[in-house]
């Protein structure tokens, strides 16, 4: 099984339960890992036989633009879209981190990590 990782996708968007998060927005960092059988692309050297990381990035950006109150909802949408787009995805893990969250503490970020395999989808 092969792994494709996209690291530190930076996005400014408006997720959260607070009204100011809806209006002002926050900075987020998304990491995504996809496991799939990519043997065909190793032989063919053809983009159509792999999972295009440009497409993965576009899925993340599209789903991050849709406002949600909870990171759980955002992560689930990203994974749903990824499994829908690529039938050869066996497992995927997404981490969405909110940078400098408004929770009255001194921290860099809060993050949610969701992992899903094809059988648990």
Closest CA to 60 of 6, 120, 109, 113: 6
Please tell me the predicted confidence (pLDDT) of residue 106.
83
Residue 75's domain comprises 2-120
Q: How far apart are CA 48 and CA 41, in angstroms?
A: 8
Residues whose CB is less than 8 angstroms from the CB of residue 27 and which lie 6 or more positions away in sequence, other chains included? 10, 11, 12, 98, 99, 100
Alpha-carbon Rg of the chain, whole angstroms? 16
The confidence score (pLDDT) of residue 60 equals 98
Tell me which DSSP letter residue 117 carries.
E
Residues 39-42: contacts with CB under 8 Å, at least 24 apart: 39/2
- Give the chain's domain count: 1
User: For the whole model, what pTM was predicted?
Assistant: 0.90
pLDDT tens digit at each of 121 positions of the chain: 899 999 999 999 999 888 888 888 999 999 999 999 999 999 999 999 999 999 999 999 999 999 999 999 999 999 999 999 999 999 999 999 999 887 778 889 999 999 999 875 4
**Which helix (H) or strand (E) element contains residue 12?**
strand 2-13
Give residue 17's pLDDT: 86
What CATH number corresponds to the domain at position 6?
A: 3.30.1130.10
């Amino acid at each position: 099984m092969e792994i494709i990782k996209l690291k530190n996708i930076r996005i400014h968007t408006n997720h959260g339960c607070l009204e100011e998060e809806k209006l002002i927005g926050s900075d987020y960092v998304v990491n995504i890992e996809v496991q799939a059988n990519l043997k065909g692309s190793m032989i063919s050297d053809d983009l159509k036989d792999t999972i295009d990381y440009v497409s993965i990035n576009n899925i993340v950006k599209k789903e991050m633009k849709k406002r949600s109150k909870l990171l759980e909802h955002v992560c689930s949408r990203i994974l749903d879209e990824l499994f829908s787009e690529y039938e050869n995805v066996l497992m995927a893990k997404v981490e969405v981190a909110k940078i400098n969250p408004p929770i009255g503490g001194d921290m860099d970020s809060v993050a949610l990590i969701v992992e899903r395999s094809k059988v648990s989808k």
